């Protein structure tokens, strides 16, 4: 089972490649894995029926006692068969549903298979925390599937609505999981059910768990997202919204009901909301004219029935409920697939535009009739067996005066009436020849020839509904294993003399007459509503209206909050941060115990020399009237830190600091090009006295914190062990670098994420349309043979031939030099850059690989390589930058982060902790003894991320700003010429 779960994780990555070559036939390949999982579950049938529980486990997070454990009891076994069997049929169906050239086919097939894998893990996991993870994965993947038609606003809205509702329920459920795990002392589902904890905390946890289950299974008040999700392709509706995703909540209810059904909070929630959902969905289905929406609201109604049956808690109700769960997966998936065939063949699902299809597609009509009969509970289908078993179980409880039994019985009987009514409406709308439309030669009634492969999936599913009814007795033994976990009756009610068994015929018992009565009343309900306009709103508002009102309220609250806090004033933002800092730290200092200090006037003479310079530079920076002067003076502080680090025995920190300070200065210089050089009158400080006092308060506060912190330690620092750890574990002598890539590798991973976010944020603010790399494209005029001969030079009027635009004829030491206006070129700078560039790159590589034992590392090496790119840009402009780095910065960032993540994941396959390093040693002639530590690979990822960051800054703040400035200058020149 764990192996199959791993295959479900890997296989979707290959499908986009297969879809690009096979088209829609890639779905046939995708169906192989669910079929294998289905066959494996079938092979487990004898073990499960005999009472065995196949179990596999892998300790994932031992410190939290969380494991990737797979447990196949009766309920999980049945859900596995449904998820994999129906999933395989739906993927085979997709082969004919989608065209070979359909947009996004590879992504859709990959996400659909990944969803099947997530559901496979969800129904089999024995860990409650892992269940929540799979739960949220299905929400995200369903969002992608529902929004497949991303160009349609309705699809995007429906996908977002489903994601918000189910994710909100999942977050509430997560709180319940935490409470349950803490209270029971374990995250193992089987142990929790075996111990059956009780108490107020458990009851609270159950309520929160039920919120997640009800939202996932579209039970009122969360029901509205499911009809909206019908904007998805029909295969998605057939799989997610009939057999898989919506069953996740029902599965959780069925999982907990045998143990917790008789707690004070369970039945009032499950039965009340289930009955109301059943009636609400059934009534709305009678009002719809779209075949898919009829089935959608019918699914809402059926989910309410499933919640009542499986959540009631007694043994006979559990047996009926699990049978109904199987039947619903079969007949509702078949019906959705049938609607997909109709929609693809005639281009409409509106029952007012369909007529006479039953005669033209008798196989499809037969499959639909059988599926509707099973849904309504007509003999000899599995739906009839489940319906009669449900009515019998609840009738026995109701007769003995159980209040919840009476409510459930009346609710399910009323729901069955509505089910029969909208079931007949579906058949009549899809296949009947309607008066007034018969004979109309409209294209909607013309039925093109259908491939047998296209209709094979609904035919198989509808056939199984009949076979399930005819061989109901054979299903009794496998399904009874789940039912036997529940008590025979509700507390205070006498247990039945004998337990119920599944069978197609139990004689003329009371439940049979109730069932027949619901069919008759359902036909009457259809006859009453068939010719009436029921589109008029009954209630003044619906749950969907509440959802939309909530979103609008959140949006308005966000606007108000933003308008109050985000005033567009940087001094206000910084001042607010500083005031909070002084208040918080000052309070902590005053509330603390005795202050202690261990101060020295200085440790090295260098401090006496550097500190005054840094202080004077800071004071002058405050008084500077030019922006660039202020930036340079502020950099003096950073360069002073370089000297302090170097004189304190920290060459790595000194090297990194000087590189960071240089890159920062370059970034500031790039930004300042678009800002007036001098500070105007409007830039004068507002409330200078307050600013001075606040600045002094911040400085004094941080000074006191530093003084107190020096003497606050009462235990030896962990950093004292770093030198030994660096040598013994990291096999390196450079403690700083080994700490970054090995001992504190997770910190570095987080810092890489921050760097990528920063680079993406900067680029997003600067680039207006797209971020595609156009800089590395050589622009020139082709000769008559199509060869590029005449270089172009950048002018205010655009790119012009070098001779025509007055370009320089001097030798170009750099490629981009030919494209710079002559007055902006420096031949001396071009020569220096041409000579030094490759040397600097080699130095960066040396720092990268030497950093494990000597000063350097991936961060320092990446900054040095970035400085080489800065030189190329400064000397040759934006096209020279394109020639120096002919790749997109995003690729470097992505590859670097991928390497770092791979270094964290790969050790897991050998049972080691993430980011565990391995060392390889060898004796090589001439070279002698050499060592290679795998943390160097992680450092390579850091190296690429840093280069990508610098390149992204240069591309956005440098090259893109240049392009926008040139476009603006060209526009101004053209306007002057026109005038």
Give Cα 297 to chain centroid, integer Å. Answer: 27
Phi, psi of 798 (to 5 degrees): 110, -170
Among the listed residues 671, 664, 674, the one whose alpha carbon sits nearest the alpha carbon of residue 641: 664
Residue found under tokens 């489903």: 162
For the segment 835-874, what is each residue's pLDDT rounded down to a tens digit?
Answer: 888 899 999 999 998 888 888 888 899 999 988 988 888 8
Residue 919 belongs to what H/E stretch? strand 919-924
* Distances 83 to 2, 239, 460 between C-alpha atoms, Å: 16, 8, 15
Residue 974 has pLDDT above 50, yes or no: no
Tell me, what's the pLDDT at 386? 94
Tell me, what's the pLDDT at 785? 39
Tell me, what's the pLDDT at 76? 94
10 Å CB burial of residue 506 (0-12, 13-18, 19+) is middle
**Between 135 and 650, whose confidence is greater?**
135
Tell me, what's the pLDDT at 811? 53
Residue 778 has pLDDT above 50, yes or no: no
Angle, in degrees to the nearest 10, between helices 382-399 and 291-311: 40
| Residue pair 869/884 in contact by the 8 Å Cβ criterion | yes
Q: DSSP assignment of 55-94, as one string?
A: EEEEEEEGGGTEEEEEE--HHHHHHHHHHHHHHHHHHHHH
Among the listed residues 345, 169, 194, the one whose alpha carbon sits nearest the alpha carbon of residue 273: 169
Tell me, what's the pLDDT at 769? 53
Residue 866 belongs to what H/E stretch? helix 858-884
Say if residue 380 is preceded by a cis peptide, omega within 30 of 0: yes
Q: What is the mean pLDDT of residues 151-175?
A: 91
Residue 34 has pLDDT above 70, yes or no: yes
**Range in 197-201, 591-595, 743-747, 877-881 with the lowest mean pLDDT:** 591-595
**To the nearest whole percent, how much of the chain has pLDDT over 90?**
39
* Distances 863 to 249, 748, 753 between C-alpha atoms, Å: 51, 16, 17
Angstrom distance (rounded) from CA 638 to CA 423: 76
Q: What is the mean pLDDT of residues 257-264?
A: 93
10 Å CB burial of residue 941 (0-12, 13-18, 19+) is buried
Please tell me what DSSP assigns to residue 494: P
| Residue pair 222/214 in contact by the 8 Å Cβ criterion | yes
For the segment 522-567, what is each residue's pLDDT rounded down to a tens digit?
Answer: 999 888 887 666 666 666 667 777 888 888 998 899 888 888 878 7
Note the residue count of the chain.
979
Residue 406 has pLDDT above 90, yes or no: yes
Tell me, what's the pLDDT at 966? 67
Please tell me what DSSP assigns to residue 958: I
Torsion sign across C-alpha atoms 323, 326, 332, 335: negative
For the segment 461-501, what is each residue's pLDDT rounded down to a tens digit?
Answer: 999 999 999 999 999 989 999 999 999 888 878 777 788 88
Token pair, residue 185, equals: 């002392």
| Residue pair 722/739 in contact by the 8 Å Cβ criterion | yes
Residues 6+ apart with CB under 8 A from 204: 176, 179
Query: For the chain, what is the mean pLDDT?
Result: 84
**To the nearest whole percent, how much of the chain has pLDDT over 70?**
89
Phi, psi of 55 (to 5 degrees): -145, 135
Angstrom distance (rounded) from CA 924 to CA 937: 21
The CA-CA-CA angle for residues 738, 730, 899, to 5°, reads 70
The CA-CA-CA angle for residues 504, 508, 513, to 5°, reads 95
Residue 244 has pLDDT above 70, yes or no: yes
Q: DSSP assignment of 773-826, as one string?
A: --TTSPPEEE-TTS-EEEEEEEETTEEEETTTTT---S--SSGGGGGS-GGG--
**Between 308 and 667, whose confidence is greater?**
308
Instruction: Give the burial string for 754-772 (b: 16+ CB within 10 Å, else e).
Output: ebbeebbebbeebeeeebe
**Between 778 and 955, whose confidence is greater?**
955
Token pair, residue 214, equals: 């009800």
For the segment 199-231, what is each residue's pLDDT rounded down to a tens digit?
Answer: 999 999 999 999 999 999 989 889 888 988 888
Query: Rounded to 10 degrees, what is the CA torsion of 542, 543, 547, 549?
Result: 30
Residue 780 has pLDDT above 70, yes or no: no
The pTM of the full predicted model, rounded to 2 decimals, is: 0.74
Model confidence at 805, in pLDDT bands (50, 70, 90)?
very low
Token pair, residue 272, equals: 């009340």
Model confidence at 726, in pLDDT bands (50, 70, 90)?
confident
Tell me, what's the pLDDT at 816? 63
Angstrom distance (rounded) from CA 939 to CA 470: 65
For the segment 314-330, what is each residue's pLDDT rounded down to a tens digit?
Answer: 999 999 999 999 999 99
Among the listed residues 463, 366, 425, 87, the one whose alpha carbon sits nearest the alpha carbon of residue 238: 87
Q: DSSP assignment of 324-383, as one string?
A: HHHHHHHHHHHHHHHHHHHHHHHS--BGGG--SHHHH-HHHHHHHHHHHHHHHT-TTSHH
| Residue pair 16/110 in contact by the 8 Å Cβ criterion | yes
For the segment 334-375, what is each residue's pLDDT rounded down to a tens digit?
Answer: 999 999 999 888 888 888 888 888 888 889 999 999 999 999
10 Å CB burial of residue 248 (0-12, 13-18, 19+) is buried
Among the listed residues 178, 80, 77, the one whose alpha carbon sits nearest the alpha carbon of residue 129: 178
Give the CA count within 13 Å in the CB-facing half-sphere of 449. Answer: 1
**3-state SS, residue 924:** strand
Residues 6+ apart with CB under 8 A from 350: 289, 290, 291
């Amino acid at each position: 089972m764990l192996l199959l779960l791993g295959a479900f994780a890997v296989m979707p990555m290959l499908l986009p490649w297969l879809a690009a070559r096979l088209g829609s036939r890639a779905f046939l390949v995708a169906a192989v894995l669910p079929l294998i999982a289905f066959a494996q579950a079938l092979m487990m049938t004898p073990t499960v029926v005999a009472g065995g529980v196949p179990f596999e486990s892998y300790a994932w997070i031992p410190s939290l006692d969380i494991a990737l454990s797979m447990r196949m009891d009766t309920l999980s076994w049945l859900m596995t068969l449904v998820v994999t069997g129906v999933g395989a049929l739906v993927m085979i169906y997709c082969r004919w549903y989608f065209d070979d050239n359909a947009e996004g086919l590879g992504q859709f097939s990959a996400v659909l298979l990944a969803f099947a894998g997530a559901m496979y893990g969800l129904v089999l996991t024995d860990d409650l925390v892992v269940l929540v993870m799979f739960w949220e994965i299905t929400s995200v993947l369903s969002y992608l599937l529902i929004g497949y038609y991303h160009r349609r606003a309705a699809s995007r809205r429906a996908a977002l609505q489903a994601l918000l509702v189910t994710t909100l329920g999942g977050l509430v459920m997560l709180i319940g999981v935490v409470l349950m795990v803490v209270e029971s002392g374990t995250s193992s589902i089987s142990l929790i059910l075996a111990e059956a904890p009780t108490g107020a905390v458990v009851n609270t946890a159950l309520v929160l768990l039920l919120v997640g289950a009800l939202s996932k299974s579209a039970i009122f008040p969360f029901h509205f997202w499911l009809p909206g999700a019908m904007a998805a392709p029909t295969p998605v509706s057939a799989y997610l919204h009939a057999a898989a995703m919506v069953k996740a909540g029902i599965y959780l209810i069925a999982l907990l009901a045998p143990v917790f059904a008789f707690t004070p909070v369970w039945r009032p929630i499950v039965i009340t909301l289930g009955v109301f959902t059943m009636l609400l969905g059934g009534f709305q289905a009678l009002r719809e004219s779209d075949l898919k929406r009829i089935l959608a609201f019918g699914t809402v109604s059926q989910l309410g029935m499933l919640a009542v049956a499986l959540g009631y808690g007694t043994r006979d109700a559990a047996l009926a409920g699990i049978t109904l769960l199987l039947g619903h997966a079969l007949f509702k998936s078949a019906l959705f697939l049938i609607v997909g065939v109709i929609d693809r063949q005639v281009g409409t699902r509106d029952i007012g535009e369909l007529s006479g299809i039953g005669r033209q597609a008798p196989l499809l009509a037969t499959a639909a009739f059988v599926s509707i009969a099973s849904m309504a509970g007509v003999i000899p289908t599995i739906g009839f067996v489940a319906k009669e078993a449900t009515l019998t179980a609840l009738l026995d409880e109701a007769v003995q005066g159980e209040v919840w039994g009476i409510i459930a019985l009346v609710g399910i009987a009323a729901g069955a009436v509505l089910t029969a009514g909208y079931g007949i409406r579906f058949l009549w709308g899809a296949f009947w020849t309607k008066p007034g439309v018969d004979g109309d030669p409209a294209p909607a009634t013309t039925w093109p020839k259908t491939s047998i492969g296209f209709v094979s999936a609904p035919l198989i599913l509808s056939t199984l509904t009949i076979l399930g009814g005819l061989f109901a007795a054979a299903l009794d033994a496998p399904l009874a294993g789940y039912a036997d976990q529940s008590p025979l009756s509700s507390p205070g009610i006498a247990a039945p003399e004998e337990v119920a068994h599944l069978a197609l015929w139990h004689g003329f018992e009371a439940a049979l007459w109730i069932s027949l009565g619901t069919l008759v009343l359902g036909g009457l309900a259809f006859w009453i509503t068939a010719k009436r306009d029921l589109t008029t709103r009954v209630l003044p508002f619906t749950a969907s209206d509440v959802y939309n009102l909530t979103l609008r309220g959140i949006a308005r609250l966000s606007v108000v909050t933003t308008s109050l806090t985000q005033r567009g004033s940087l001094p206000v933002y910084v001042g607010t941060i500083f005031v909070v800092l002084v208040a918080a730290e000052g309070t902590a200092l005053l509330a603390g115990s005795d202050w202690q200090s261990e101060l020295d006037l200085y440790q090295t003479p260098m401090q006496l020399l550097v500190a005054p310079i840094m202080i004077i530079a800071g004071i002058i920076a405050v008084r500077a009237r030019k922006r660039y002067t202020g930036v340079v003076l502020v950099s003096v502080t950073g360069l002073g830190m370089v000297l302090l680090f170097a004189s304190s025995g920290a060459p790595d920190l000194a090297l990194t600091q000087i590189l960071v300070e240089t890159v920062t200065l370059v970034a500031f210089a790039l930004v300042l090009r678009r800002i007036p050089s001098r500070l105007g009158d409007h830039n004068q400080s507002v409330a200078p006295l307050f600013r001075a006092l606040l600045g002094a308060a911040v400085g004094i506060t941080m000074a006191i914190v530093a003084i107190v912190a020096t003497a606050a330690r009462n235990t030896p620092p962990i950093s004292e062990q770093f030198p030994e750890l660096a040598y013994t574990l990291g096999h390196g002598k450079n403690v700083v670098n080994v700490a970054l890539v090995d001992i504190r590798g997770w910190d570095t991973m987080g810092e890489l994420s921050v760097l990528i976010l920063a680079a993406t944020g900067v680029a997003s603010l600067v680039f207006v349309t797209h971020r595609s790399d156009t800089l590395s494209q050589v622009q020139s005029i082709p000769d008559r043979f199509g060869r590029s001969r005449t270089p172009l030079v950048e002018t205010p009027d655009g790119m012009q031939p070098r001779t025509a635009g007055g370009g320089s004829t001097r030798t170009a030491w750099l490629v981009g030099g030919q494209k710079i206006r002559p007055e902006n070129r420096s031949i001396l700078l071009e020569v220096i850059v041409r000579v030094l560039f490759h040397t600097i790159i080699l130095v960066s590589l040396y720092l990268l690989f030497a950093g494990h034992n000597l000063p350097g590392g991936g961060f320092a090496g990446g900054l040095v390589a970035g400085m080489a790119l800065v030189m190329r840009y400064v000397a040759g402009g934006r096209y020279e930058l394109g020639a120096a780095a002919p790749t997109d910065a995003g690729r470097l960032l992505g590859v670097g982060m991928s390497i770092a993540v791979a270094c964290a994941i790969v050790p897991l396959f050998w049972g080691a902790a993430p980011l565990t390093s391995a060392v390889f040693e060898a004796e090589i002639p001439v070279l002698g003894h050499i060592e290679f530590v795998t943390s160097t690979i992680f450092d390579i990822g850091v190296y690429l991320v840093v280069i990508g960051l610098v390149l992204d800054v240069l591309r956005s703040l440098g090259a893109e700003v240049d392009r926008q400035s040139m476009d603006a200058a060209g526009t101004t020149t053209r306007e002057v010429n026109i005038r």
